[in-house]
């Protein structure tokens, strides 16, 4: 009988599951944030690349 009572009071498995769920939620949030950041960085570097290409083309045409 004591074994059953101690088993019912033991919540270490539930705690492990809770930590697992928290880790999963943090991972999903991090992936979403990094995905958004990656898209923004790609756009910024695309603009910089185009501007540098235009500047190089203008310098070549100007004879510099």
Q: How far apart are CA 39 and CA 27, in angstroms?
A: 18
pTM of the model as a whole: 0.53
Residue 44 belongs to what domain range?
Answer: 2-62
Chain segment 27-40, per-residue pLDDT in tens:
999 999 999 999 99
Number of domains in the chain: 1
Q: Between the CA of residue 25 and those of 18, 32, 35, what are the distances in Å?
A: 11, 11, 15
Residues 45-50 have a mean pLDDT of 96
Handedness of CA 7, 11, 13, 17 (dihedral sign): positive
């Amino acid at each position: 009988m004591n074994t059953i009572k101690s088993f019912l009071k033991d919540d270490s498995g539930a705690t492990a599951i809770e930590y697992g769920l928290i880790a999963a939620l943090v991972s999903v949030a991090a992936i979403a944030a990094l995905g958004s950041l990656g898209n923004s960085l790609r756009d910024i570097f695309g603009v910089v690349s185009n501007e540098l290409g235009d500047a190089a083309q203008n310098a070549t045409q100007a004879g510099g």
